[in-house]
Amino acid sequence: MDNSNMVQKTIDILDYVSNHPRGAALSAIARDLQYPKTTVHDILKTLMRNDFVQYLKPDQKIYCIGAQVYAIGFTYLESSILFRTARHYLILLADKYEKTTFLSKRHHDRVICVYKYASAHAKAPTGNIGDQKRLHSTAIGKCYLAFDAGAAPLIDTIDLPAFTPYTITDRDTLKAHIRELQALGYSWEKRESHPKMACLAAPIFTRGVMTGTISMTGWYRKDEDFTLLGNEIAQLAKLITTQMDQNGD
C-alpha cells in the first residue's frame, strides 16, 4: 500500500470515529468504510499508541477520539484569528442572555462546533465542541445554506431526515425558508433539531468568503423576540467580519 493511500485511510478512520461520540467497533469501521479489518486494526493500533484514539469501553474494544486530537484542536483555535476575534463577543452575548454561544465551521454537508461558551446561568443542555450538525435542521447549518456560496448547491442533494415534528423535510419548503433567511441576514431554528431548543446564527466572512458562524442557543420560548435577537447576532457577526478584514486574515 502506498503512503498516500495509508494516510487517506487513517484520515477516514479518524473522521469516522469522530462522527460516533458513543464509540465505534472495529468491525463497524471496517464494514462502513469498506476497508480490510486487518488494515483498520493496524491503523487503530498506531493511533492508540499516539493517543489519537482510545477505548471508550475497553472490555468491548469500542473506540473513541483520544486526547491528542483535542490538543491539536486547541492549538488550531489558539492560532485562529477568527476564534481570537469572536471569543470575547460570544462570551458577552451568552452572559447577556444567559444562553450558550458557539463558533462553527462547515465540513462538507455538516457543520462542526469548534468553540462553545455557556453562561453560568444557562439552563438548557446543549451540544459539545466537535459535534457535527445537519445543514437542514439547525440554525448554523441553514446559515451555510443561505450565505455560503460553496454550500448552497447542497440544498438539492442532502438528506432531509425529521428529528422533530418541526423539522423541514420538504425540499421546496426548505428552499423558500432559505430565501427568507437570506433576506433577514441571519438564520434560526425553533425546535427543529431538538423538541425543546431554539437557536439563532449569523455568518462570518473573510474577504467576502464565508468562513464560519456564530450562534446562540437555549430553551425555546414562544414569547422570545427572535427578531431582536436575530438582528443583534447579525450585527455582531458583521462587527467580527469587519475586525477580521482589518486584521488581514
Spans of all domains in the chain: 3-65, 80-247
Residue 104: per-residue pLDDT: 87
* Residues facing residue 98 across a β-bridge: none
Give me the tens of pLDDT residue by residue for the chain, a chain 249 residues long: 456 688 888 888 888 887 777 788 999 999 999 999 999 999 999 988 888 888 887 777 888 877 677 656 655 555 467 778 888 999 999 999 999 999 888 877 778 888 888 888 877 667 666 677 889 999 999 999 999 988 888 999 999 999 999 999 999 999 999 999 999 999 999 999 999 999 999 999 988 889 889 999 999 999 999 999 999 999 999 999 998 877 754
Residue 183: per-residue pLDDT: 96
CATH of domain 3-65: 1.10.10.10
24-25 and 53-57: which strand pairing?
A: unpaired
> Of 4, 28, 6, which Cα lies nearest the Cα of 17?
28
CA–CA dist 160, 29 (Å, integer):
24
Global pTM reads 0.72
CB 73 within 8 A of CB 52: no
List the grid coordinates of 246: 482589518
Residue 109: per-residue pLDDT: 74
CATH homologous superfamily of domain 80-247?
GAF domain (3.30.450.40)
CB 145 within 8 A of CB 155: yes
List the grid coordinates of 80: 485562529
